[in-house]
Structures are given as C-alpha cells and as structure tokens.
Amino acid sequence: MVFYRPHLSALLLSFLLGFLSIGNVYSGQDDSFYEDFLTQRMMIAKIREFRGEASAKALLTSLKGEAKKIGMKLPEWSRSGTSVGPPKYGLRLRQNFNSGRYDLLIQKASGAYDLPPALIKAIIRAESAFVKDAISHKGAQGLMQLMPETADEIGIQDAFDPRANILGGSSLIRKYLNEFGSLKKALIAYNAGPQWVRKRKGIPKETRTYIARVIGFYRFYKGEK
C-alpha cells in the first residue's frame, strides 16, 4: 500500500501544471531558457523528419508556431521546404552560399592547429556547404558537422557557433593527422570514425566519395586545377 502526503501531491501537481504551461509563462531571464528548449525540440523533430517519421512534420510545425508566439527567430534549418543537411546525405542545399564569410575564423583555426586554410575550408564545403546551422539526419551539427557526443568530448558547448565548430573540427583533423600520419586516413577517421582506421576495416563507399570531394575542394581553394 502506498500513502501519499497531501503537501507532496500538491507540489507534484503544481510542477506538472507549470511545465505544461511553460509556453505561456516566459519573461526576462526565462526567455533564453525556453528558446533553447524549443530549439532543441525543433532540432530533434527535424532529424526525425529527415528519417522519414510521419509524425515529425506535424511536431515541427507545432513547435515553430510556439516559437513565433514568443517572437523567437526561427533557425534556418527549421523552415518549411528547407533541407540543410550536407550533400553526402543526399539532401538539397542552397547554392548561393558565401564561401568567404568564415575566412577569419578559418585563419585562426589554421594557425592554432597548423592546418592549411584551404583544407579547413574544403572540409566545411564538403560537410555543410557553409550552412552554420546544418543538421544531418544522423544528428551531426554545424559547419564541420560535429556529432553531439564528439562535441561534448572536445568541450564544444554550442556546435552551431561557427567559431567553436571550426576550432573543434580543426582540432579533430589535427588529432587524426598526428595519429594516423596521412591526410587520407585523417579524412576517413573524420568522416567514418577513427575505428575504421585503427581496425583497418577498409573505406566505406560513402567515405570514398567524401574524400574525393574534400580533395577536389582543397585543390580548388589552393588555386589548383
């Protein structure tokens, strides 16, 4: 038999009612918390939509409606008809990107991790086509498409922040170059995971295409033909 304390029941009921009505109670310092909450929910819904889940579109529409009610600016990737995942996942991308908008950040990352700026830029082009809030259907995020668990491991709190993302992605490329000793192996590790190189599993077909794209963009940004 379970006995309920009246004051505890009231406390739990109050908490649940407060949570359910969170969309109607926001002001001052609570705004940013609720916007972060909505952004995360929209992100999950968008990933589910990429995966083809039938209920995801309706959920995303509902969340965007809630965001509009509080005057929140919708992330680019949340907009209807917009696919912002990287081309390696076969999703449509905007073609009017500005490849020079992050040059200063790329230069900083280049100096910090001793990498050619053209290489960092090529990886960004292949990964996200310079869409800062890109999300793949697997959940990779931002310009250099960091997986959430990877971002946590390297101390990146906001993978959609261009500076943090570029520095984080560049640090991984430098790490893999030091560990594996070649650009090809570093790119395999970055795209498919370091276990593919460590266990000598070969190269996934998708990763072969990815490497070719990165090398092609690398030569282009270096001014080679």
Among 222, 188, 220, residue whose Cα is nearest residue 116: 222
Asked if 113 and 171 count as a contact pair (C-beta separation under 8 A), the reply is yes
What's the Cα-to-Cα distance from 158 to each of 114, 151, 161, 165, rounded to whole Å? 23, 8, 6, 8
Asked if 40 and 75 count as a contact pair (C-beta separation under 8 A), the reply is no
Most distant CA pair in the chain: distance in Å? 78
Structure tokens at 23: 């969309």
Rounded to whole angstroms, how far apart are CA atoms 218 and 221? 5
Rounded to whole angstroms, how far apart are CA atoms 98 and 90? 21
The one catalytic residue in 49, 66, 127, 179 is 127
49 is catalytic: no
Asked if 165 and 159 count as a contact pair (C-beta separation under 8 A), the reply is yes
Return the beta strands (E) in 61-172 as ranges. Answer: none
Indicate which residues carry an active-site annotation.
Answer: 127
